[in-house]
Amino acid sequence: MGTGQQVNFTMERVINGDFILVGVIPHNEISKKENEAMVSNMPVVTKINKNGDVIWAKSIEAIPTKLLIPKINEEKGTYTDYYMDYRIAAGNFSAV
């Protein structure tokens, strides 16, 4: 994680010996596309095996929304439609 970032996870063991983790990753640590905005830290749930290998991981976010952002064409004095993906967490999750 980045300098000065604290990431907290809670962990529970499941019946077969694997683990489920829930935590929050700061939005500036998440790889994102140039045409998207992320407005909050992203909660994630991850399953790892007893050796620490990731089995699967999933962010817990609301359905991404497309925002219309008009961009002005200075030369022609017209606007071009530009859409940006807007991502937001689906809530606060602090325990498994």
Per-residue pLDDT tens digits of the chain, which is 96 residues long: 445 555 677 889 998 999 999 988 776 656 666 666 666 678 889 999 989 899 998 888 888 788 887 888 778 778 887 788 777 888 777 777
Q: For residue 86, give the 3-state DSSP assignment.
A: strand
Global pTM value: 0.60
Map out the domains of the chain as residue ranges.
Answer: 9-87
Task: Return the percentage of the chain with pLDDT > 70, whole number.
Answer: 78
For residues 72-86, one letter each, b for 16 or more C-beta atoms within 10 angstroms of the residue's C-beta and e for the rest, the string is eeeeeeeeeeeebee
Residue 48 is predicted with a pLDDT of 93
